[in-house]
Amino acid sequence: MTTLLYDGSFDGLFTAVFEVFEYKYKDVEIISRERFHQENIFAEIHEVITQNDKSERVLNKLEANISKQGIHELLKVYLSEDPEAEQLILSAVRQSIKYPDENILQNYADEAILKIAKICKSVSRERHRMTAFVRFEKMQDDVFFAKIDPDFNVLPLIRKHFKDRYQDQKWMIYDLRRNYGIIYDLETCDFFYPDEKIDLNKYEQKFHDQEKNYQTLWQRYFTKTNIVERKNLKLHVQHVPKRYWKYLTEKW
């Protein structure tokens, strides 16, 4: 068994995939350095240095074989943080090279491809819910701030949605679990990586004076428009699962 260690980045992963073929590895696993714990002392370790040219060569080949949409599906697998993500992606690349004229991502008879499809469905559902349930709060510097804690690393997938939707105001979305976020300053929309996690104990102290009023008004509106006689908690939870309630002002 040969273990390829990479830096955890998307380009790093596809550099590793390139080197699987470059060095003709057969019995191989790809794993990020962050998650690596050597259990087999006899395993051969191959350190992967991220090289964009190698990554691009694999991605260009994939685009020709499975299209940009296919690459987007593999991106979802990568962002799922599933322990098997690297091996599933490697399996898909191998199949795309072996069967270049087939849409291998629809070959659900293959166990790896079926799992890829299931992961993509879960990630897509989480992406949709994040676009629906994110709530922004106005801060003292007039930046609208939102905190999220998604099951999957979906920030890269929701970036364009919020950039297109909120072009006339400054905003930030911060992933509590992964300690990074997106910031939009009316010109650029970039990822940011704070050195330390944002202190939520001091978070509300930075609210704009108007924010508490906005929240109170929204809670009152929600209460007044709620028809008790038509309350159907089972249906409500089906559409708005409880784990998302922490984002919703009307649920506080």
* pLDDT digit string, tens, across residues 109-165: 999 999 999 999 999 999 999 998 888 888 888 889 999 999 999 999 999 999 999
The pLDDT value given to residue 75: 98
pLDDT confidence of 230, banded at 50, 70, 90? low
Q: What is the pLDDT of residues 15-29, one digit of tens each?
A: 999 999 999 999 999
Stretch 196-200: mean pLDDT: 79
The pLDDT value given to residue 164: 95
The pLDDT value given to residue 222: 58
Q: Which of 119, 139, 189 is nearest to 160 (CA)?
A: 189
Average pLDDT, the chain: 87
pLDDT confidence of 236, banded at 50, 70, 90? very low
Please state, in angstroms and rounded to a whole number, the distance separating the CA atoms of residues 87 and 102. 20
> Which percentage of the chain shows pLDDT scores above 70?
79
Q: Which residue has the tokens 């508490």?
A: 212
The pLDDT of residue 180 is above 80: yes
The pLDDT value given to residue 140: 86
The pLDDT value given to residue 184: 96
The pLDDT of residue 241 is above 70: no
The pLDDT value given to residue 14: 98
Backbone phi and psi for residue 83, each to the nearest 5 degrees, phi listed first = -55, -25
Q: Which of 58, 13, 53, 11 is nearest to 31 (CA)?
A: 13
Please state, in angstroms and rounded to a whole number, the distance separating the CA atoms of residues 100 and 202. 54
The pLDDT value given to residue 133: 84
Q: What is the dihedral of CA 231, 236, 237, 243, to 10 degrees?
A: -110
> Which percentage of the chain shows pLDDT scores above 90?
64
According to DSSP, residue 139 is labeled B
Residue 85's contacts (CB-CB under 8 Å, 6 or more residues apart) are 77, 78, 119
Burial 119-153 (b: 16+ CB within 10 A, else e): bbeebeebbebbeebbbbbbbeeebbbbbbebebb
The pLDDT value given to residue 169: 93
The pLDDT of residue 196 is above 60: yes
Stretch 64-74: mean pLDDT: 96
Looking at per-residue pLDDT, the higher value among 158 and 251 belongs to: 158
